[in-house]
Amino acid sequence: MSFGSAIAAIVSQRNNRRKRTSQLERYAEKTGAKHGKLSEHDKLSKEELSKLGEKIKTENNNKRQRVVAFTAIIMIIVISIFMYFMF
């Protein structure tokens, strides 16, 4: 029994397999972000970290409020259309 052709098929599939990149790598390619460890000048002080944390929290809160408002408006429109056609 010869398994040479089976091995060749497996090797061919392995070599032709798509290169999978993580979302982090794709993001880094698009934005030009760097990978690797932080150097000494990249580290933030506690005050800067707290300011950054607050900034991120406020941005997330604003995004959430926009989504809730948009969803509420859409729901009001859908309900009003439903009520119009029902009555």
Rounded distance between C-alpha atoms, residue 36 and residue 14, angstroms:
29
Cβ within 8 Å of residue 35, ≥6 positions away: 25, 28
Q: Are the C-beta atoms of residues 30 and 36 closer than 8 Å to each other?
A: no
What does pTM read for this prediction?
0.48
Along the 87 residues of the chain, how does pLDDT read in single tens digits? 567 788 888 888 888 887 777 777 777 777 776 666 555 556 778 898 899 899 999 999 999 999 999 999 999 999 999 999 987
pLDDT of residue 57: 96
Q: What are the residue ranges spanned by the domains of the chain?
A: 44-87
**2 is written with which tokens?**
């010869």
pLDDT of residue 38: 53
pLDDT of residue 39: 57
pLDDT of residue 37: 57
pLDDT of residue 76: 98
pLDDT of residue 28: 75
Backbone angles phi, psi at 53, to 5 degrees: -60, -45
